[in-house]
Amino acid sequence: MKKFRPQPGFVVQAFRFALDPSASQEAALRSHCGAARAAYNWAVGWVEASWWQRKAEESYGIPEAGLTEWRPWSLPSLRKAFNVVKHTDPRFAAWWEDNSKEAYSTGLANASTAFDNYAKSQQGKRRGGRMGAPRFKSKRKARLSCRFTTGAIRVDVDGRHATLPRLGTIRTHEPTVKLLSRVRAGTARILSATVRHERGRWFVSFQAEVKRDLERVARPDMAVGIDLGVKNLAVLADSTGEIRTVANPGHYDRARGQLRRASRVVSRRRGPDRRTGQRPSRRWEKANARRNKVHHRVTNLREDTLHKLTTAVAAEYGTVVVEDLNVAGMLRNRRLARRIADAGLGEIRRQLTYKTRQRHATTVITANRWYPSSKTCSGCGAVKAKLPLHVRTYACDACHLVIDRDDNAARNLAALAAACTTGTGVAGDQDTTPVVSKPRGADRRTRATRPRRKAEAGRAGGTTLPQQQQEETRDRPQAEALTLW
């Protein structure tokens, strides 16, 4: 399947609306999502059957030329094979006509993508950790989702209903005016729709090709550095030195009392037990629904906070400097993991990236992960060798500047924007070549020795880096710590 490319001046944007389906419509939605899961499991089993057959034949000493052929996993091949067996396979013959063909196509497309990702991962062509082979989806754990690409896909003229193939017209929980007005004006064209059940209710997401005119930011010649953290969600320092602090609302911490009480009620009810086949009681299901409602509210509040923050920043500044945080590594700290996950640090950078590109065409600069923004003095540029996390005030030994740790880091990030600019304004040099810096000789390799052993080696007379190289690294220009997106 070819990737869709929008026309010049158009962007692909998703419009998501909550649904209020009737009982029969909800049963149809679950049936379509179950059909997608069944088609996915069939495709995984059909492809892997040839793998196991070849492995068994090899154990009997059959030569390579006589082994069973590999079954292809491309989407056209899976569709062709599924159309042959759906009339005779007892898993589909009795009910496959009850759902739209798009439901089965969704599962087959997901299986094809999963096998492609697995093959690229084994060949080293895919970023990230190694992926395993696709596995069957559990009926109990699989996320309910189905995608429609053909048929009657539209938002109705009354602005309160959406029409989907085989599902008919479903009432939306909120008005669809923001998409309907664009469709009527001819500035948007619906490409597909995806229904999904999450956070206790059904949602429909319309993928549309939208004509979007870039909006001018309020201060195009101004750069801002954003230091993200746990105590304060974000500290913003612009190029004039003005500092603004966005407090961390801590939605999860505020709701912990409610969750504790709700979880206590759930634990006192008769819940499910897969080992004995025990089914949950109605009282357990009601109590579990009340507990999940608290979780869903926390998630919605967190999303609302992050969207408001990133939208305001993207609409005000011409250049935004953020950090490349190792959030996955930070989550390994058992003392801070809960608060780091509640803050959503990685989501802030993701939202800033697409909002600045698609809505305002401004520049996002990502400071290298190894850049010492907190250890560098924003006044004179001196770098401390160590700055423990519990030290919240930065005191410079050279110029005697005393400043809050987060404010100092935000100022340093804002100063980095000058390294990627021309002589006339901010965010002018789009061709800046990023150079990976190694402050104080640090590298990306994980050392096998523990810090205690390093200290013992230093006391024994060894040093980790010559003094001359430390001085050269400390005086290295800050432009080497940038990555331009």
Whole-angstrom distance, CA of residue 144 vs CA of residue 104: 13
Task: Output 447 or 180, whichever has higher pLDDT.
Answer: 180
Boundary-marking domain end, from 89, 122, 155? 122
Same domain, 102 and 62: yes
For 17, the 3-state DSSP assignment is strand
Would you call 421 exposed, middle or buried from its count of C-beta atoms within 10 A (0-12, 13-18, 19+)?
Answer: buried
The token pair that represents 126 in the structure block: 């895919």
The pLDDT score that the predictor gives to residue 359 is 86
Answer whether residue 274 shows pLDDT above 70.
yes
- In this predicted structure, what is the pLDDT of residue 6? 60
Residues 300, 436: one domain?
yes
Are 365 and 220 a contacting pair, CB within 8 Å?
A: no
Q: Are residues 87 and 172 in the same domain?
A: no
Overall domain count for the chain: 3
CA angle 50, 52, 55 (to 5 degrees): 110
107 and 194 assigned to the same domain? no
Give the pLDDT band (50/70/90) at residue 7: low
Q: Does 205 have pLDDT greater than 90? A: yes
Q: Kindly report the length of the chain.
A: 485
Residue 97: is its pLDDT beyond 80?
yes
Confirm whether 111 is domain-assigned: yes
Does residue 181 share a domain with residue 37?
Answer: no
> Which distant-in-sequence residues (6+ apart) come within 8 Å of 4 by Cβ?
12, 191
User: What rounded mean pLDDT belongs to the chain?
Assistant: 84
Given 194, 211, 228, the domain boundary residue is: 211
Domain membership flag for residue 267: no
Q: What is the pLDDT of residue 199?
A: 86
Is 139 inside any structural domain? no
Residue 309: inside a domain: yes
Residues 354, 425 within the same domain: yes
The predicted structure's pLDDT at residue 463: 38
Answer whether residue 127 shows pLDDT above 90.
no
Domain-embedded: residue 132: no
State the pLDDT at residue 370: 87
Considering the domain architecture, whether residues 169 and 71 belong to the same structural domain is answered as no
Condensed to tens digits (0 to 9), the pLDDT of residues 298-357 reads 999 999 999 999 999 999 999 999 998 889 889 998 889 999 999 999 999 999 998 998
Shared domain for 97 and 180, answered yes or no, is no
Q: Find the mean pLDDT for residues 417-427.
A: 50
Q: Is residue 457 part of a domain?
A: no
* Claim to verify: residue 478 and residue 341 sit in the same structural domain: yes
* Residue 50: per-residue pLDDT: 93
Confidence (pTM): 0.77
Active site residues: 227, 323, 406
Do 189 and 148 share a structural domain?
Answer: yes
The sign of the dihedral angle between the CA atoms of 62, 65, 71, 72 is positive
Cα 15 → chain centroid: 17
Look at residue 269 and tell me if it is in a domain. no
Q: Based on the fold, state whether residues 204 and 235 are members of the same structural domain.
A: no
> Residue 349 falls within a domain, yes or no?
yes
Instruction: Indicate whether 271 pLDDT > 60.
Output: yes
Domain that holds residue 162: 12-23+144-211
Mean pLDDT over 6-28 rounds to 88
Q: How confident is the model at residue 172 (pLDDT cuts 50, 70, 90)?
A: very high
pLDDT beyond 60 at 149: yes
**158 and 307, same domain (yes or no):** no
Contacts 24+ apart (CB under 8 A), 169-176: 170/19, 170/20, 170/21, 170/25, 170/204, 171/19, 171/20, 171/21, 172/17, 172/18, 172/19, 172/20, 172/204, 173/17, 173/18, 173/19, 173/20, 173/201, 174/17, 174/18, 176/15, 176/17
